[in-house]
């Protein structure tokens, strides 16, 4: 059993959330910009962070707080990244302390995340003042999860939240998540924040193992613009309220948990790629017949990261040469004369390259296929059994506009 349901981070038992407007970036807007997620009990916790050498202050604080593999609450703001900023770690700790006081837990049990403009001091006094009101709004409802999802958005155009239920150890287990990500998205986490909650009983060691496995085949397989942010964080909390036998090793129960977690995160990853800044198309690139899964992943990532391929999809131009070119500089060894390429969407499927050579195809049909929002680039290589799917988006004039005046 694996069913997608509503409720986001509040779908699992024992979790509450809230999101309100405090004016972190500007008092001129009314957009929600601070979120709080709280478990009724202490959780097993794990996180994966950006591989960028320049890391935001909240990441350093979270690493300290996660040394014991436990947490109970997450406080998040948008509008200011608290990265490369004056008093960064001090202010991140102040956010944790204010949240801990408001929800009644140890400060080490609070994790903190921020997203927004880099280099500016965060108005921590404003956040400290607003946290009691935020905590007073905590609810275990779909609306509360939606409010939290809205509060973490920056250039996102849509909220990203989802939940899934499955059976683990004879008990129904639920997990849910909210995420933000639109620009600065690139494999090895991209400017994304993702917060996952579950009522599954699982040890800190095993939930970290599951998260690492999941991130590598979901969030690390998307790209919008090739930039990796300073703030990327994916955090998971598991409070054990489902009552299943605690997962302490790999086996049938772990596999069921992992399958649900991966389904959840792949969907959130797809939503991030689909909502790339200014994007008009979600690009799904599937490579089959590679020498190995790793080889297929490297080639697929090269295609979705190709600026020229992105531009061709934006222009609904079936320029399959861009695809082969991107495959060729991926660093993987393969025989181009074995490569077939198809473009596919809800409007149909068309072969544009066979055995590494162009074929006569209906340009009008190809354009119709590429006009759809969801476009697939399907590559068959004839090298082995390796396969992989990665996700990206086109690049548009709007992307330049958004990032040309991001600070203002």
| CA gap 387, 294 in Å, rounded | 8
Higher pLDDT, 232 or 331: 331
pLDDT higher than 50, residue 184: no
Residue with tokens 């050498």, as numbered in its chain? 53
191 catalytic residue (yes or no): yes
Chain mean position to CA 165? 19
pLDDT higher than 60, residue 79: yes
Catalytic hit among 154, 155, 191, 344: 191
CA–CA distance from 99 to each of 12, 27, 62, 76, 238 (Å)?
Answer: 21, 22, 14, 10, 19
Each residue's pLDDT tens digit, 11-48: 999 999 999 999 998 777 889 999 999 999 999 999 99
Structural domains in the chain, sorted by start: 2-274 (3.60.70.12), 282-404 (3.10.20.340)
Q: What is the pLDDT of residue 191?
A: 55
Residue with tokens 């059976």, as numbered in its chain? 167
Q: What is the pLDDT of residue 153?
A: 92
Q: What is the pLDDT of residue 256?
A: 98
Q: Residue 333 in 3-state DSSP?
A: coil
pLDDT higher than 90, residue 340: yes
Q: Are strands 340-345 and 374-380 parallel, antiparallel or unpaired?
A: antiparallel
Angle between helices 88-103 and 124-136 (to 10 degrees): 20
Closest CA to 15 of 46, 33, 54, 42: 42
Residue 346 burial (CB count, 10 A): 10
Q: In which band, very low, low, confident or very high, does the pLDDT at 401 lie, cut at 50, 70 and 90?
A: confident
Structure-block tokens of residue 31: 């957009």
pLDDT higher than 80, residue 196: yes
| CA gap 17, 142 in Å, rounded | 9
Q: What is the pLDDT of residue 37?
A: 98
> What percentage of the chain reaches a pLDDT higher than 70?
93
pLDDT higher than 80, residue 187: no
Q: What is the pLDDT of residue 258?
A: 98
pTM above 0.85, yes or no: yes
């Amino acid at each position: 059993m694996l069913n997608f349901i509503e409720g986001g981070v509040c779908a699992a038992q024992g979790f509450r959330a809230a999101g309100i407007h405090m004016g972190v970036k500007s008092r001129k807007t009314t957009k929600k910009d601070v979120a709080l997620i709280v478990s009724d009990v202490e959780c097993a916790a794990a996180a994966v962070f950006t591989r960028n050498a320049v890391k935001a202050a909240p990441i350093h604080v979270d690493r300290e707080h996660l040394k014991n593999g436990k947490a109970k609450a997450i406080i998040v703001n948008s509008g200011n990244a608290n990265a490369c900023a004056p008093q960064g770690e001090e202010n991140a700790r102040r956010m944790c302390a204010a949240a801990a006081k408001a929800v009644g837990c140890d400060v080490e049990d609070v994790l903190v995340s921020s997203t927004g403009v880099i280099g500016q001091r965060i108005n921590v006094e404003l956040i400290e003042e607003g946290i009691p009101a935020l905590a007073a709004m905590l609810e275990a409802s779909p609306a509360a999860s939606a409010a939290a999802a809205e509060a973490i958005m920056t250039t996102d155009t849509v909220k990203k939240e989802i939940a899934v239920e499955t059976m683990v150890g004879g008990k129904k287990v639920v997990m849910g998540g909210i995420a933000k990500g639109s620009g600065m998205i690139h494999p090895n986490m991209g400017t994304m924040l993702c917060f996952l909650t579950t009522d599954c009983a699982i040890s800190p060691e095993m939930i970290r193992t599951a998260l690492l496995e999941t991130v590598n085949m979901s969030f690390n397989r998307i790209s919008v613009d090739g930039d990796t942010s300073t703030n990327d964080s994916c955090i998971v909390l598991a409070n054990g309220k489902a009552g299943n036998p605690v997962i302490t090793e790999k086996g049938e129960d772990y596999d069921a948990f992992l399958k649900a977690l991966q389904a959840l995160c792949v969907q959130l990853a797809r939503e991030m790629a689909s909502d790339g800044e200014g994007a008009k198309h979600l690009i799904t690139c599937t490579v089959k017949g590679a020498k190995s899964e790793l080889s297929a992943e490297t080639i697929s990532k090269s295609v979705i990261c190709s600026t020229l391929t992105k531009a061709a999809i934006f222009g609904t131009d079936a320029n399959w040469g861009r695809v082969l070119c991107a495959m060729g500089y991926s660093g993987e060894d393969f025989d181009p004369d074995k490569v077939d390429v198809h473009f596919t969407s809800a409007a149909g499927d068309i072969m544009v390259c066979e055995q590494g050579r162009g074929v006569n195809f209906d340009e009008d049909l190809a354009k119709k296929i590429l006009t759809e929002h969801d476009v697939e680039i399907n590559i068959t290589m004839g090298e082995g059994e390796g396969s992989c799917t990665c996700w990206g988006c086109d690049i548009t004039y709007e992307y330049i506009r958004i990032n040309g005046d991001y600070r203002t």
